[in-house]
Every structure is written in C-alpha cells, then in structure tokens.
Chain A
Amino acid sequence: MKEKNRIIRKIMAVLLLFLCAARCGNIQVNASQTAADQDLSGHRGSITVTLRSDGNGVSGGSFAVYQVAVLSESGNEFAYTDAFRDFAVSELTSGYSSEDGVYVAGNVFGDDTEENAESNAAANRKMAEDLAAYIRTGGSTVSVYGTLALGDGTGNTQAGTGTFSGPSGEGLPAGLYLFLQEQPAADIQPVSPFLVGVPRLVNGAYVFDVDAYPKTGTVSDITPVLQVCPSVQKQVTGSGADPTMVTDVAEGTYFQFDFTALGTDDPSDPDCPMPVNDEGSAADGGPVVSASSQTLRLQIGGTGIIPVGTITFTREGNYYYQVTERNGSDPDYDYDQRVYWLKYSVTPNADHSALEVSEYLVKDGNAEGEQLFPAENGEEPVFTFTNVQYQEAPGGDEGSSEEEPTEPTLDGDKGGNGEIPGEGSAGGTAGGTGTSGSAVSGANSQTLPQTGQLWWPVWVLAAAGAILILAGILIRRNRR
C-alpha cells in the first residue's frame, strides 16, 4: 500500500510539473526535459569564459556579470530577477515574451538544432544588446552580480580564460547571466555583450559547468568616425484653409519619434550602431525616452528641435536607418505619417588611417523614394515632422488653447515605407505636410502612365477619311 502511494505521488509530481506553464515575464523551460531527468534547483554550476584571438588565449580583460533570470521557486521555470523585471515587461522587449524566451533559453541552454541555431544565436545576441542598453539607460537600478577577470597565463592561470562561480565562488544557481566587458584586453576588439545560461543541454542531459567562447578580434588601427545625426524638428500648424504655424502648444503636449536601425548590406554583420544622445532621459527633462540596440525613442514637449545624437562607426559598410513620428491618440492632433529613410556609407579614407562617411542619403519614405538630402540648395538636413492642431482657440486665434492640457497616449508605432503613390499628403489631413514615400513619379500620379502608342487616331483618321471621300464622291455624283 505504501509502495503504491509512493508511486502515485511520483506520477502526480511529474504531471504537475508538466502542466505548470505560468507566464508574465518568465522564461519557460521545456518541462518534459527537466522534470523527469533532473531537478535543477539543487545544483550549482559555473561559467568558464575563454577569449581567443588567432587561436591564442588573450590575456587581460574583465567582465561585469549580471544575473538576468533564475529558477523560480516552483523549480520548473525561469523568472527575471528583480533588477530586470521592468525589462521583461517593457514595450520595447515584447519580443522576449515567454514564447520567444524559449528560443533564447533554448539557445542559451544548448537546445540548438541545425535549423534554429542561427536564428537562436541572433536572438541571443539581440537580447544581450538590448539588456546592455537597458542597463546603460538606467531603466532601473541594476546592480552587478559579480565580476570576472581573465587569466594572463602566470601562475596557475590560463591566458584568456576565467571561471565565474558566483560573487563568492559558491557556485551559480540555474539561471541566465549577462556578461558586459568592463576592460577589454590589450590590442583586442571589445567583446559584445553576451548571454550564458546555466545549465546547458548537451546530448539530452544538463551540464552545469558551462563554457563560453565569445568572439573577438585584433583591434584595427583605423580610426572610427563619429557622425552627428540630423536633428528632429517638430512643427505644428493650424487646421484652417490657410494654416499658420502654431507656436503656443498646450503645456503637457508631447510628441515622440523613433530612430530605428534597419540593417546593413552585410548579412553576416547586420547590426547598426545607434546614436548616443547625451541630452538626458525624459524622466530628467531630456529628450531620451528609451534606447535599445534597434530603436532610440525621443520626445519633445510642444514644438522645437531636438538632437538625435552621434553615431560611432567602427567598421566600413552601408548602414540604414529610419526616422518616424509615433502616432499619438490626442484627438486634437493629426500625426505626421512621414518616413525618413537614411543611409550612411562608411569607407576608409585615402591612406586607410581612418574611416569616413563617404555618402549620406536621406530619402522620402524608402530606399527608392525621392532624395531629400543632400539637397540641391545645400540645405542642412533635418527631420521635420508637422502636426495639425484642431483645437478651437478663444477669440478665433487659431492654435492657442486654454483647454486642460492632455498628455497624448502613444498607442503604437508606425512603420511602413510610404507606398501607394498618387494619394497626396500624409494622413490625408489638410495642412499636413510630408508625402508618403512616393514610389511613382511622372506627369500624372493620379492614373497609371499612358504607355500606348497613338494607334487609335490612325483608325479614326482612316475611317473619317474614307467617310469623307465617299460622301464627297456621292455628292458630286448627285450633282450630275
């Protein structure tokens, strides 16, 4: 009887673990692989990082380690630690829901297959970059879990190798760990942020002492180039038949813009460096709302100009970006649907001592849109977005308002490349400026081009000629 009860309890435990699938920022583990095989909660592990260049261990360098997620109390799922809980629910990290987290976890925990290895690695890389950006912008108070210094080959240390077993060497609980390089090794390119998970799934079993081999390379002698991005200009016009610029926007009215990385021409290195904006976070009155490896979100109260920031290019290539205004939900405004497409071409200078931005294009809408900058008149580029204000102002003074100021709720992004030619102004609003990226040029954008030769007049003329000649002959015959 006792034996029977024990068996029943074991079966119930397995079933419970199988059925538990809580969400809300948790990273799920494939329960069928963990529950029956190993109990993760009782184990401790370590992460050994080895940095190699040209096959040799690289001396020096150190990393700050952050504990991003740990096994939850239930023992069957991973939950973000308190420091990263805001990251987990941030709108910019919607890609890190539990479903996507499985892939990241799968990659981090070694659950790669031939089909998903590349996409898992890319997802892993992106998540690491976004976590690093989150830490940089101070989205929350994020404390370092521990540090790791790589050996230099003296004594018992191995050059380029270091083992992290927790802040006090007590061993790492099962979880997800982010490595940010504090100090690069001499003459070696900085290592990008990377994630390592403990344990790792190897041949169907979990291994708790995990090895990581982040990529690096020798430092190039070529000097990077800093490129100051054009600023964003916000204008507001009235909504009348002859709209004038509004300078007195209601207090508390904010407009937001996204500077988004689109990619590069190199499939093996698709990441674009993002602008760094030192004007301060929105919480402190500055323009920076948030920053990630792909999107810099800026904000302005009312009208004016805000800087986007400076991009540092360290490698040659073509880099593509897009600037848009976020749609708000304030009924007093129509939001500009314009899309600015940017391309920076970075090449070495004549003596290969430094990189330079050899070409800089801004187009309307998309890659095939009308070129805006460099402008023929030499005008300096600026990303101008114009909103139409519909508030009725006291005394008929269009544009001013004494209504209660409202902070628009921003309800989502607008992407797109502005196609559908021949549809005129953005958003179909009177006074709105900026056309959607026009894919069609030509004499009449309201209809398809006339691409036929004039053959129908031939038949018309011939028929008319025949009729006239026949009529003439008949008339002359009747005369006789």
Chain B
Amino acid sequence: MTNRQKKQGLSGTVLILLGLFCFAGAAFLTAYNYWDAARAEKASREIMLQMEKLVGETEDLSDPEKEDLPASLSESSMALPDSSAEVSYREMPAVEIDGCMYIGFLNIPSLDLTLPVMQKWDYERLKISPCRYSGSYFTDDLVICAHNYARHFSPVKGISMGADVWFVTAAGKKIHYTATNIQTIAPADIREMIQNNKNSLSGSEWDLTLFTCNTGGTTRCAVRCERVDDK
C-alpha cells in the first residue's frame, strides 16, 4: 500500500470518526432536550399542585361554564373593574412557592395545558415555568413568555383561533380569553410584542399575548388573545 493510499485511508477514518462524533453530539443534545422538557414539565406540575392549594380547589377547567374557583385569598379588593385604565397602578397579587412569586396560572383546555406563571422572567425562571414578560391583566396588556418545551408553550403555536384561554389570578379570579391571532415577530422587535395598540388605527389589538420561539429560534411566535367578558 502506498503512502498516498495510507493517507487516504487515514483521512477517511478520521472523517468517519468525526461524523460519528457529530452523530453522538446530536444524539446527546436530543436526549438532553427531552430530559430538559421532562424536567420542566415535572417542575411546572409540582408548582401547580402547590398553587392549587393556595389559590383554591382546582375544578375541571375544561368546562368554562363551571363556577368560579373558590379563593383562599380574599378577592374583595382584587375585583377586576370594567375599565382597565382605572387600576393601572395596581400590583397583580402573587403567591410565593419555593421562593418564587407566581401571579396565577394559565389553562388552555383545547391543548390540555395548565401552567403556572411567574411574576418576573429570567432564564433561570423560564426553566421552571412560563413567566410574565410585561404588562398586567389589570391593564389588558399582559405578555407571557415560555420556552417551547413539549409541555410548556410548544403546543401553543398550534392553537386554534377561537380557542379558550383562561388565566386564574393568584387571588382566584378567572379571566377568560380567546385566541384571535398568531404573529411571527423578530427578536429585536420588542415594541411590536408588548404594545397592544388599542388606540391606534393600525396594529393588532389584544389583551393577552403568549409567546415562545419558533423552530430554529430565529423568530418568536406570538399568540394574541382577546378578553371575553363573561356575565
């Protein structure tokens, strides 16, 4: 065998090894992602178990016709007024669970999804549950972000228009929304994400936004919801 043939043989072997190494990396990353998603789902579920005790008995929220949840926290001072402008100064009530503050939880019956929502966001908090990104349900401009874990906001990207979305506050008050629009937003377009443009002639009008990354992570999928006044 000539030197050239030996070198070729060696190069081929190296390339094959590198390829196998890449496959191993892909496999490892896949395993890690599944593990991370499972961990996040478990973390959220544990938080929800504690939240149910603090906020009230959890009834089957898949039937929105049922009565409001009984609240262990007094909600006499937390009544949501008709005019959001009147209470723009109010803090959203929050409960503390495992050292983190939660403003309530989301329930999307059509996706069989119930998730707690933290009061503030950072990357550590996002690993546990969806987080409030900006705004408030008092001012109808609440924006919630979450990772696209399999049982966090990944299913939200496929939500049907008109699907019911419920937000139960830490005081036990249920707020009813319906999904009305899905937008794709560039990562740098923060203003587009958080301003609901209610008083402008153009731009979307919404009361609640849920967003997560699209596949690839180069854009954000924003699900816009409008509040339904149930009387």
Interface residues of A (CB under 8 A from B): 262-263, 265-267, 317-318, 320, 322, 341, 343, 366-368, 417, 419-422, 439-443, 445-459, 461-462, 464-476, 478-479
Contact = CB atoms under 8 A, between A and B. Distances in A.
Contacts of A462: 22-23, 26
A467 B19 contact: yes
A468 B16 contact: yes
B19 A468 contact: yes
Interface in B40-68: none
Interface string B193-216: 111000000000000000111111
B16 A469 contact: yes
Nearest to A470: B19
B146 A451 contact: yes
Nearest to B23: A465
17 contacts: A262-B89, A341-B89, A368-B119, A421-B134, A446-B188, A449-B145, A450-B123, A451-B148, A453-B149, A455-B215, A458-B33, A461-B23, A462-B26, A468-B16, A472-B16, A472-B18, A479-B5
A449 B19 contact: no
A469 B189 CA distance: 41
B162 interface: no
B147 A451 contact: yes
B30 interface: yes
A451 B36 CA distance: 13
B161 to A, nearest CB: 22
Interface string B110-153: 00000000011111001000001111101000000111110001
Given A262-B89, A343-B91, A417-B88, A449 B133 contact: yes
Interface string B99-119: 000000000000000000001
A472 B44 CA distance: 45
B121 A441 contact: yes
B25 A368 contact: no
B167 to A, nearest CB: 15
A475 B29 contact: no
Nearest to A474: B12
A263 B89 contact: yes
Contacts of B149: 453
B104 to A, nearest CB: 14
B18 A468 contact: yes
Contacts of A366: 88-89
A265 to B, nearest CB: 4
B87 A466 contact: no
A445 B122 CA distance: 11
B194 A478 contact: no
Given A367-B91, A442-B122, A448 B211 contact: yes
A457 B211 CA distance: 22
Contacts of B120: 441
B231 interface: no
A456 B217 contact: yes
B92 to A, nearest CB: 7
Contacts of B216: 452, 455-456
Interface in B62-102: 77-79, 81, 86-92
Interface in B155-193: 185, 187-191, 193
B8 A479 contact: yes
Contacts of B211: 448, 451
Contacts of A341: 89
B207 to A, nearest CB: 16
B190 A422 contact: yes
Contacts of A451: 126, 145-148, 153, 211-213, 220
Contacts of B78: 265
Given A451-B147, A472-B14, A267 B133 contact: no
B22 A452 contact: no
Nearest first, the 5 closest Cβ-Cβ pairs linking A and B are A452-B213, A465-B22, A472-B15, A468-B19, A469-B19
A374 B54 CA distance: 27
Nearest to A440: B134
B228 interface: no
Nearest to B213: A452
Given A468-B22, A469-B19, A458 B77 contact: no
Nearest to B135: A439
Contacts of A468: 15-16, 18-19, 22
Contacts of B5: 479
Nearest to A447: B187
A464 B23 CA distance: 8
Contacts of A420: 190-191, 194-195
A421 B136 CA distance: 14
A443 B122 contact: yes
B193 A448 contact: yes
B225 interface: no
A48 B195 CA distance: 53
B56 to A, nearest CB: 20
B77 A318 contact: yes
Contacts of A262: 88-89
B89 A464 contact: no
A448 B123 CA distance: 12
Contact of A453 (B11, B36, B188): B36
Given A451-B212, A453-B147, A453-B148, A465 B21 contact: yes
A421 B88 CA distance: 17
A104 B132 CA distance: 41
A419 B134 contact: yes
B194 A461 contact: no
Given A443-B122, A449-B121, A451-B153, A458 B26 contact: yes
Contacts of A445: 190
B194 A419 contact: yes
> Which of B37, B87, B92, B119 has most chain A Cβ within 10 Å?
B87
> Which of A447, A448, A454, A466 has most chain B Cβ within 10 Å?
A448
A453 B187 CA distance: 15
